[in-house]
Structure 1
Amino acid sequence: MLCNASLRSIVLQAGHIRVFPKGRVQLRDLRWGLGSRVGAECPSSRKFRAAKAMMVDTGATAERGTIVDMLPVKENMEDNDCAIGGLGSEDGRLSCGYSSFRGKRASMEDFFDVKMSKIDGQTVCLFGIFDGHGGSRAAEYLKEHLFENLLKHPKFMADTKLAISETYKKTDSDFLDAESNTYRDDGSTASTAVLVGNHLYVANVGDSRAVLSKAGRAIPLSEDHKPNRSDERKRIESAGGVVMWAGTWRVGGVLAMSRAFGNRLLKPFVVAEPEIQEQEIDDEFECLVLASDGVWDVVPNEDAVSLARAEEEPEAAARRLTETAYTQGSADNITCIVVRFNHDKAE
């Protein structure tokens, strides 16, 4: 199917300001460059909607900082529209590209988020992939609230791992409360990477995945939460749940993953407690790939890393991964973020 050239461009959600307590966030010394390539190719039609983002200066004083949401809204995406773009720090030490495509699904349930700032003098970057199931609301809620809640956590800088774990669980509880008067029971994965200075935290719930390229080797930084994983099956059955075969292994014969946000009817068997891996960034770290299972269903970890390393720009790498997954037969929404570590850049 072709991208309809007459359809409207993706609406941008630019300049959404997040304000935090005095002394926590300072943006005055941070200047991020951003680029989008008009005329890049969509997997299905060789066209795409250019996704631009911009930073808005609100005149915040040194006493109050800002976090800026710099990505397009991912709702009401029209027939086969794509969101493709990239951004990076002015000094060039870190850059990222993103690509998101509805693919062969009837609706778009993937969301993603990127935030960058300075907190207490440290560079902080947050990247997230949220793959919805049973509807898009849970994934959309995570895009709107997960990183906002994390950055507000009082121990975010002092104990980042604890802050991530508590924020995941609180955001899940908040979402269930917000949806308590609806008839929806959708859910979402979350694969996130949080970089504080040179320390990387990768947290995962569900079957989206993060893979690191280190000295040319593909190193998984998450393990898919599948019901037939021995430890997951034991946890589910200990809580009184069952794991059944229904085309694939499913919790209660329904959900093909063992951890997710939302899915009220499957609580407490399906939880939003993340598994977190920590890494100290060094000169061997080349790039990080985060993607929904629309990529991982058809592209092995090693191939994803090879494709990402072959492209000089992370935006081109993200676009190529999306195209590859589509042409390899992915039947799902396809979303990925590629983060490149540019160690040769000067301060």
Structure 2
Amino acid sequence: MLILGLGSKLGQFYFWAKQFAELSVCGDFAFANCEATFRQTLFLFLSLSSMGHLSSIVGVHVDGSPVSGGGLSENGKFSYGYASSTGKRSSMEDFYETRIASVDNQLVGLFGVFDGHGGARVAEYVKEHLISNLIRHPHFISDTRKAIVDAYKQTDQDFLASDNSQNRDAGSTASTAVLVGDRLVVANVGDSRAVICRGGDAIAVSRDHKPDQTDERQRIEEAGGFVMWAGTWRVGGVLAVSRAFGDKLLKQYVVVDPEIREEVIDNSLEFLILASDGLWDVVSNEEAVNMVRAVADAEQAAKMLLEEAYKRESSDNITCVVVRFISGQNSSNSG
């Protein structure tokens, strides 16, 4: 079941839609009241949709079932789809964001995948605040790179200041993409990866932040930390990623400085994939690109990636976001 989480009115919309679907007999008075409330909430739902506010709705897993969805930008320049599943895990620590907004009279697309560890609360906090902090940045359009760096740091600082729990090893990755004008700006911390297809080629536009990488190990050790093997290379023998939100206990070493890469959106750029490591652990960049190229619909492509990863015995939560650039579609996408 998918619960739409945009305030009480949308909750009412879901409730009344469900009631109408199940209603077989209803007295005149009750029906009139049901219909009036349904029409009111439906009107609000459609009004919000027409203003683009519903593009940020995400699915909440309440029974372990996968969720998926998608949309099309108002200017028709890109479509997007997402799919997310708990998989074999007992809890869900993946979150995602898909949002289309108007900033300084420019239509922008903002997408993110956030993979939590040590619980879900950091990933959920980042999902709820990072994109909003980015949009509110005074230089979001004029200096997008600076805005991204500042938004990542502000979100992390705000979370650490507000978190009163005793669990200080909870954290989250982030892989985000901003579409503004003819620019695609990708940023990440951790190992949720971003891959593009340009001219049929798979190109990683993010780097998995692992503590055994030469520069990451050096940075950690210079800060007074250490990297050791414990099933895999880990910061302090604990954490398998070297950059993340949260992780208060290791914050001196596990920074939230995003690596940023910018790409030109032109006719050779076909699509972007953002996904948590549950996908990339079992599907290569090239395999993912080849699968998505064969499916024109972005939501169906995201679902196919998720399904293929589970066929290959991925045991993790998996979240995939696919953004397809309309100008970059070619005959290979007609399958």
For the superposition of Structure 1 and Structure 2, which TM-score range results when normalised by the shorter chain? Answer: 0.7 to 0.9
The aligned amino acid for 1:331 is S
Report SS of the residue matched to 2:101: strand
Instruction: Indicate yes or no: 2:186 matched with 1:202.
Output: yes
- CA distance 1:121–1:16, change in 2 (3 Å): farther
Instruction: Indicate yes or no: 2:13 matched with 1:13.
Output: no
- Whether the aligned pair in 2 keeps the contact of 1:15 and 1:69 (CA below 8 Å) is no
Compute the TM-score of the two structures, normalised by the length of structure 2.
0.83
Instruction: Indicate yes or no: 2:332 matched with 1:342.
Output: no
The aligned amino acid for 1:57 is S
Identity rate, percent: 55
Q: Deviations over 1:281-320 (max 9, x none)?
A: 1100001000000100000000001111110101110000
Compute the TM-score of the two structures, normalised by the length of structure 1.
0.81
Instruction: Indicate yes or no: 2:216 matched with 1:232.
Output: yes
Report SS of the residue matched to 1:307: helix
Residue in 2 that maps onto 1:71 = 57
Residue in 2 that maps onto 1:300 = 284
Instruction: Indicate yes or no: 2:98 matched with 1:114.
Output: yes
- CA distance 1:266–1:123, change in 2 (3 Å): same
Residue in 1 that maps onto 2:167 = 184
Instruction: Give, in whole Å, the separation in 1 of the partners of 2:7 and 2:263.
Output: 31
Instruction: Give, in whole Å, the separation in 2 of the partners of 1:313 and 1:92.
Output: 14
Whose helix fraction is larger, Structure 1's or Structure 2's? 2
Structure 1 vs Structure 2 CA RMSD: 2.2
The structural deviation recorded for 1:71 is: 1.8
Instruction: Give, in whole Å, the separation in 1 of the partners of 2:97 and 2:46.
Output: 17
The aligned amino acid for 2:268 is E
Residue in 2 that maps onto 1:332 = 316
Instruction: Indicate yes or no: 2:177 matched with 1:167.
Output: no
Instruction: Give, in whole Å, the separation in 2 of the partners of 1:146 and 1:160.
Output: 14
Residue in 1 that maps onto 2:250 = 266
Report SS of the residue matched to 1:294: helix
- Whether the aligned pair in 2 keeps the contact of 1:14 and 1:55 (CA below 8 Å) is no
Instruction: Give, in whole Å, the separation in 2 of the partners of 1:55 and 1:148.
Output: 21
Instruction: Give, in whole Å, the separation in 2 of the partners of 1:259 and 1:101.
Output: 24
Say which of 37, 47, 71 aligns to 1:57.
47
Structure 1: gaps of 5 or more residues: 1-8, 18-53
Instruction: Give, in whole Å, the separation in 2 of the partners of 1:243 and 1:266.
Output: 12
Instruction: Give, in whole Å, the separation in 1 of the partners of 2:231 and 2:106.
Output: 48
The aligned amino acid for 2:316 is D
Instruction: Indicate yes or no: 2:123 matched with 1:131.
Output: no
Find the structure with the greater CA-based Rg.
Answer: 2
- CA distance 1:16–1:303, change in 2 (3 Å): farther
The structural deviation recorded for 1:82 is: 1.0
The structural deviation recorded for 1:122 is: 1.6
Instruction: Give, in whole Å, the separation in 1 of the partners of 2:264 and 2:57.
Output: 27
The within-5 A match list for 1:86-105 is 86-105=70-89
Structure 2: gaps of 5 or more residues: 10-43, 330-335
Count of aligned residue pairs for this structure pair? 294
Report SS of the residue matched to 1:57: helix
- CA distance 1:155–1:318, change in 2 (3 Å): same
Say which of 254, 258, 265 aligns to 1:281.
265
